[in-house]
Amino acid sequence: MEMVLEEVCASCGSSRLPDGHFCLFCGDVLSQPAARKGATPSARLFLHTERSSSEAWEYAGFWLRVWAGMFDICLEAVGALILTIGLDFALNRFGRFFGLSPFDSKVAVGMAFIMILAVGSWLYCAFAESSSWRATLGKRLLGLQVITADGGRVSFGQATVRHMMKFLSLFILTFGFLMSAWTKRRQALHDMPCDCLVVRVPPESFSLLGH
């Protein structure tokens, strides 16, 4: 006879999302109280290990993440601006050979800045967070790393999903970013699809965890 598991969040009581492993409201790892009552000893040990491994980390607070994010945004903007200035110079010198008027050149430069910033920020965040650093420069300066719930390195695909989900947070008036202030594991909305964590790491531990 197959046992039906009651899947709820032990912290806030919210129902489990389909195929989910975390609570969307409070960010805690979802528990399975019914499974604990009827599970085998090995299954109970797995559940305990899964939960305790995520609780061993010191999660990054809201303001630490804000300052790291502001540094990265400034860095991305400066990089995009430098490339755009180079493009503007090239179009001013050679744009007439391609039939571009000064107005058309300025429009092209403005659109190029937006595209460079959008694509550049994605590649920067995805490559940096999936690298051995596990962090962008802003996070590394503040001693933060992005990891999976079991402490592993996120993949490029996971880092990409995490980055793209930030736009959803912007569309809902930054509510997704604010969630990192009250969720139990300090997860923002964009951390949840791949169940990523942003944790504090002592500076001397960066080289050790990077491998």
Structure confidence by residue, pLDDT tens digits, 114-152: 999 999 999 999 999 999 999 999 999 999 999 999 889
Residue whose C-alpha is closest to residue 183's, from 62, 69, 67? 62
Its pTM stands at 0.70
The confidence score (pLDDT) of residue 4 equals 40
In this structure, what DSSP letter does residue 21 have? S
Task: Quickly list H helices, the chain.
Answer: 33-38, 41-55, 62-94, 102-129, 137-141, 156-171, 175-178, 206-209
Contacts of 97 (CB under 8 A, 6+ apart): none
- Burial annotation 172-186 (CB, 10 A radius, 16+ → b, else e): eeeebbebbeebbbb
Q: What percent of the chain has pLDDT over 90?
A: 51
Residue spans per domain, the chain: 1-56, 62-209
Check: CB of residue 184 under 8 Å from CB of residue 150: no
CA–CA separation, 203 and 170 (whole Å): 31
Work out the average pLDDT over 41-67.
Answer: 63
Residue at token pair 């180079």? 86
Confidence at residue 205, expressed as pLDDT on a 0 to 100 scale: 55
pLDDT in tens, 90-113: 988 887 777 778 888 889 899 999
